[in-house]
C-alpha cells in the first residue's frame, strides 16, 4: 500500500457489517443450547462475523506475528537481562522452538518472527526483515526514535498485515519480543492515559523492588526530558516507545483495513492497541481481546478500550502466548456455532424470558 498518513487511512477501514452481525446473532439463537450460555465467547464470534462481513466464516488459517526489537532504555538497569535475549528468542521463534511455537502447535497457528529492530539480529533463516534500526535509543537521554522512524515502524506492521492477508490467513494474533518493553509500554501508557508512571508500571519479567524503582524513575526522567504530547500519539511513540509497539499498532490498523480480526495479547500488545486507536480510531472494531495481563497497566488500558478479555489467569509470558490461549476457546465456540441447531434435534428454540 501507499504510505499515507493515518488520518487518511481511517476512512478506508470497513465499518462492522451490521447485517452479518444480525445474522450471527440469529444463528446463535438457533444453536441447540440455552441462549447466551457461552457468554463472552458468543460475543467474540459475532464480533468476528461483523469484521469479516459474513455470518458464516472460517478462522482455521491463523498467524501469530511476533514483532522483535530492542530498547535502549535498558541502559538504565530496568531489566534483569540484556538485549542478547531478544536475539536468542527471535532465533528460537524462527526455528520453531520458543514457548510461543510450542503453544501454537496445539492451537493450530503459524508463527512469524518479524525483526523490526533487533540490535544484534541472529543469522537464522525464517525471520522476516522489516528492520527500522538496530534498536531504539535510551529515552532518558534522547528520543527513543525519530518521528519518521515511528511512522515507518507502524507501516511495517500494516505491511505485515497486508502480506498475511494476501497469503489467505483468516485471523491474526499479535506478539512481541523485546527486552525492556514493559518499560516502554508503561511509559507510552502513562503518556496516552495521563496516569502517573508509578500507578501502571509493573515488574515485567521478575524485576526486584529496587529494579522497579529504577524503572519508574527512568520513565519520569523521560517525561521531564521530552514532554510527550498525548494528543499526538506518534509523538508519544517516537519519544518513549519501541519499534515492536509501533509495529503491533500497525498490525492492528492493517488487520482492520483487510477485514482480519486481530487478537490482542498481553500488556505490550494492549499498549499497541491503545496507540493504534489513537492513530486510527476505526481500527478498534477489528480488535479481539484475549487475556488480562498481570501487569498493572493492563486493566487501565482495557478500560480505555472499553473491552473485557475473557481469560484472567495472571499470564505475563509475552510472545503472543496469551493470544494463543484464546484460540482453543474460540474453536470450541465455533464447533457449536457451526453445529446442531434446534431443528436438527426436534426441539423448539429457547426464547428470551423477562
Question: Which segments of the chain does DSSP mark as H helices, in order?
Answer: 6-9, 18-30, 40-52, 84-95, 99-107, 147-166, 181-193, 197-200, 209-226, 233-240, 243-257, 267-279, 297-305, 321-337
Q: How far apart are CA 144 and CA 242, in angstroms?
A: 7
Known catalytic residues?
Answer: 319
Integer CA distances (angstroms), 76 to 71, 208, 211, 236, in order:
11, 14, 10, 20
Give the model's pLDDT for residue 203.
Answer: 79
- Residue 349 carries which DSSP code? P
At residue 175's C-alpha, the angle toward residues 172 and 177, to 5°, is 155
Backbone angles phi, psi at 279, to 5 degrees: -75, -40
Give the model's pLDDT for residue 211.
Answer: 77
Give the model's pLDDT for residue 5.
Answer: 95
Q: For the chain, how many residues are written?
A: 354
- Residue 114 carries which DSSP code? E
Largest Cα separation within the chain, whole Å, is: 71
- Grouping H, G, I as helix, E, B as strand and the rest as coil, residue 248 is helix
Q: Which of 259, 316, 314, 248 is nearest to 282 (CA)?
A: 259
User: 271, 297 in Cβ contact below 8 A?
Assistant: yes
Domain assignments of the chain as residue spans, ordered by start: 6-56+336-345, 62-328
Q: How far apart are CA 263 and CA 289, in angstroms?
A: 6
- Residue 203 carries which DSSP code? -
Fold of 62-328: Rossmann fold (3.40.50)
Task: Tally Cβ neighbours within 10 Å of residue 278.
Answer: 19
Q: How far apart are CA 141 and CA 148, in angstroms?
A: 19
Same fold, 6-56+336-345 and 62-328: no
User: Taking the CA of residue 329 as centre, how many other CA atoms within 13 Å lie in the half-sphere pointing to its CB?
Assistant: 20
Q: How far apart are CA 238 and CA 167, in angstroms?
A: 31
The alpha carbon of residue 135 and the mean position of all alpha carbons in its chain are separated, in whole angstroms, by 20
Give the model's pLDDT for residue 191.
Answer: 98
Q: Give, in words, the CATH class of 6-56+336-345.
A: mainly alpha
Backbone angles phi, psi at 133, to 5 degrees: -165, 165
Rounded to two decimals, what is the model's pTM? Answer: 0.97
User: 195, 85 in Cβ contact below 8 A?
Assistant: no
Across the chain, which has 354 residues, the per-10-residue mean pLDDT values are 94 97 97 96 98 98 98 93 95 97 98 98 96 98 98 98 98 97 97 95 78 92 97 98 98 98 97 98 98 93 97 94 98 96 90 82
Give the model's pLDDT for residue 209.
Answer: 82
Amino acid at each position: 500500500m501507499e504510505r499515507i498518513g493515518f488520518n487518511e487511512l481511517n476512512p478506508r477501514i470497513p465499518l462492522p457489517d451490521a447485517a452479518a452481525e444480525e445474522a450471527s446473532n440469529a444463528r446463535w439463537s438457533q444453536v441447540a443450547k440455552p441462549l447466551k450460555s457461552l457468554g463472552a465467547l458468543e460475543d467474540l464470534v459475532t464480533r468476528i462475523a461483523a469484521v469479516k462481513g459474513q455470518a458464516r466464516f472460517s478462522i482455521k488459517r491463523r498467524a501469530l506475528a511476533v514483532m522483535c526489537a530492542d530498547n535502549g532504555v535498558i541502559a538504565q538497569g530496568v531489566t534483569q537481562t540484556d538485549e542478547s535475549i531478544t536475539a536468542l528468542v527471535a532465533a528460537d521463534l524462527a526455528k520453531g522452538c520458543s514457548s510461543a511455537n510450542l503453544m501454537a502447535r496445539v492451537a493450530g497457528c503459524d508463527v512469524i518472527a518479524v525483526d523490526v529492530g533487533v540490535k544484534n539480529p541472529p543469522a537464522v533463516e525464517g525471520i522476516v526483515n522489516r528492520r527500522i534500526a538496530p534498536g531504539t535509543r535510551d529515552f532518558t537521554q534522547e528520543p527513543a526514535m525519530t518521528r519518521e522512524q515511528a511512522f515507518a515502524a507502524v507501516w511495517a506492521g500494516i505491511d505485515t498485515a497486508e502480506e498475511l492477508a494476501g497469503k489467505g490467513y483468516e485471523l491474526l494474533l499479535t506478539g512481541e519480543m523485546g527486552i525492556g518493553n514493559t518499560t516502554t509500554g508503561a511509559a507510552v501508557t502513562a503518556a496516552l492515559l495521563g496516569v502517573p508512571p508509578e500507578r501502571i508500571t509493573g515488574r515485567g519479567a521478575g524485576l526486584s523492588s529496587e529494579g522497579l524503582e529504577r524503572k519508574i524513575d527512568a520513565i519520569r526522567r523521560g517525561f521531564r526530558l521530552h514532554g510527550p504530547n498525548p494528543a499526538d500519539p506518534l509523538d508519544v511513540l517516537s519519544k518513549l516507545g519501541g519499534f515492536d509497539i509501533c509495529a503491533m499498532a500497525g498490525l492492528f490498523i492493517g488487520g482492520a483495513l483487510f477485514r482480519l480480526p486481530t487478537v490482542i495479547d498481553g500488556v505490550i500488545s494492549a499498549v499497541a492497541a491503545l496507540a493504534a486507536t489513537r492513530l486510527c480510531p476505526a481500527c478498534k472494531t477489528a480488535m479481539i481481546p484475549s487475556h488480562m495481563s498481570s501487569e498493572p497497566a493492563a486493566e487501565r488500558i482495557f478500560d480505555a478500550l472499553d473491552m473485557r478479555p475473557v481469560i484472567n489467569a495472571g499470564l505475563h509470558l509475552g510472545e503472543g502466548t496469551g493470544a494463543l490461549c484464546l484460540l482453543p476457546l474460540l474453536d470450541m465456540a465455533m464447533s457449536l456455532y457451526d453445529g446442531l441447531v434446534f431443528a436438527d434435534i426436534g426441539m423448539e428454540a429457547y426464547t428470551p424470558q423477562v
